[in-house]
Structure 1
Amino acid sequence: MKRPTRADLLAAAGKTVPDVTAPGLKVLFCGINPGLYTAAIGHHFGRPGNRFWPTLHAAGFTPRLFDPSEEQQLLPLGYGITNVVSRATAAADELADDEVRAGGLVLVEKLRRLAPTFLAVLGVGAYRVAFGRPKAAVGEQPERIGETRVWVLPNPSGLNVFYQQKMVALFSELRGVACPSHG
């Protein structure tokens, strides 16, 4: 896949990336919002250096390392991808809290329609704002959205160095609960 140019990245601001969803998934992974690189190539977690795809594989969700362009191959495995906010920005901190809260309401409607077993929000701060849970921490949350269990994981962005060493272990914990037959 061709790397986007600076002009491509600038043109990607405000674009959206289609959800990778289906009813009844085991886990619906939910990013904060697409970055410009992701929006420019049209595939979730597309920026080189983002740890989503390597972490998904290392945690046992995928049988091999998927390229972002292979995102549709998650569906037969029982996984999908969406975002709290669909609009692409250069950085998640460009999103206003009101926009994140509004995205949380849209996400609740998706969950009611799609009914995944788990929602895995990839970003503690985004989850806190979107769902009004200022003290939420990484891990399974006490509340459900409909029948969907909610799990918060660290944002896999290469910029998030705080969880770099623990990322695979935290994703593996979810996999162990969501997919116990896999190990």
Structure 2
Amino acid sequence: MPDNNLHRLPDQLRANLRLVFVGTAASTRSATVGHYYAHPRNRFWRALHEAGITPRRYRPDEFTALLELGIGFTDLSKTGAGMDHEIARGSFDVAGFRTKIEMVRPNTIAFTSRKAASLFYDRPTSALALGRQPAINGFPDVFVLSSPSGAASGHWTLQPWRELAQWITEP
């Protein structure tokens, strides 16, 4: 799908969130319905609950309710929609993402795929391990999660999601 501002998902950010999920861009389905992680085969909402990040399984149309739990959402491309390989490289705004995060200062950010993290770190996906990443001075704690997308089923594991849940719930 071509980049198109009509397909933008609004950021769900505010100051001092405990966690912000960061994707590459909205899927075609998410862009169409206006909800994060909306494709029926996407494991995101199930993983949140199964890992212990949320007290119940939320639906994609309830994504704004997660702000009450201290959880926000954004994407590296706010104008692209579709599968990662369909998103124009120039639509990824890593500098803008960094600025947003520095403004709202969440405790932790979690990239919902190695692709998103690779764009942020400017490193190949193969160079990134799942789980907690080395600290970046002045930046929130960073986790890289296995992609919940149905298209990434062969690489799915809940383990880094569980590690994230343990990290954000420890006193």
TM-score normalised by length of structure 2: 0.89
> Which amino acid letter does the alignment assign opposite residue 110 of structure 1?
K
- The number of equivalent residue pairs is 168
User: Which residue number in structure 2 is paired with residue 43 of structure 1?
Assistant: 35
User: Counterpart of 2:142 in 1: which secondary structure?
Assistant: strand
Distance in 2 (alpha carbons) for counterparts of 1:112 and 1:83: 15
Task: Work out whether 1:137 is the aligned partner of 2:164.
Answer: no
The CA RMSD over aligned residues, in Å, is: 2.0
Which of 43, 67, 74 aligns to 1:75? It is 67
Q: Is the 8 A contact 2:42 2:150 kept in 1?
A: yes
Distance in 1 (alpha carbons) for counterparts of 2:21 and 2:103: 16
Distance in 2 (alpha carbons) for counterparts of 1:24 and 1:60: 21
> Which amino acid letter does the alignment assign opposite residue 105 of structure 1?
A
Q: CA deviation at 1:143?
A: 3.4
User: Counterpart of 2:47 in 1: which secondary structure?
Assistant: helix
Distance in 1 (alpha carbons) for counterparts of 2:149 and 2:168: 23
Which of 94, 97, 114 aligns to 1:104? It is 94
> Which amino acid letter does the alignment assign opposite residue 110 of structure 2?
A
1:103-139 Cα distance to aligned partner (Å, 9 max, x none): 2111100110010011101111221133213322211
Q: CA deviation at 1:33?
A: 0.4
User: Which residue number in structure 2 is paired with residue 160 of structure 1?
Assistant: 152
Classify 1:12/1:132 alpha carbon distance in 2 versus 1 (closer, same or farther; 3 Å). Answer: closer
> Which amino acid letter does the alignment assign opposite residue 70 of structure 1?
E
Classify 1:129/1:55 alpha carbon distance in 2 versus 1 (closer, same or farther; 3 Å). Answer: same
Q: Is the 8 A contact 2:25 2:81 kept in 1?
A: yes
The aligned runs of 1:13-28 (5 Å cut-off) are 14=5, 15-28=7-20
> Which amino acid letter does the alignment assign opposite residue 167 of structure 2?
V
Task: Work out whether 1:124 is the aligned partner of 2:119.
Answer: no
Q: CA deviation at 1:13?
A: 5.0
**Structure 2 alignment gaps of length 5 or more:** none
Which of 138, 143, 147 aligns to 1:151? It is 143
**Structure 1 alignment gaps of length 5 or more:** 1-9
Q: Is the 8 A contact 2:144 2:160 kept in 1?
A: no
Task: Work out whether 1:93 is the aligned partner of 2:85.
Answer: yes
Q: Is the 8 A contact 1:50 1:158 kept in 2?
A: yes
> Which amino acid letter does the alignment assign opposite residue 178 of structure 1?
I
Q: CA deviation at 1:147?
A: 3.3
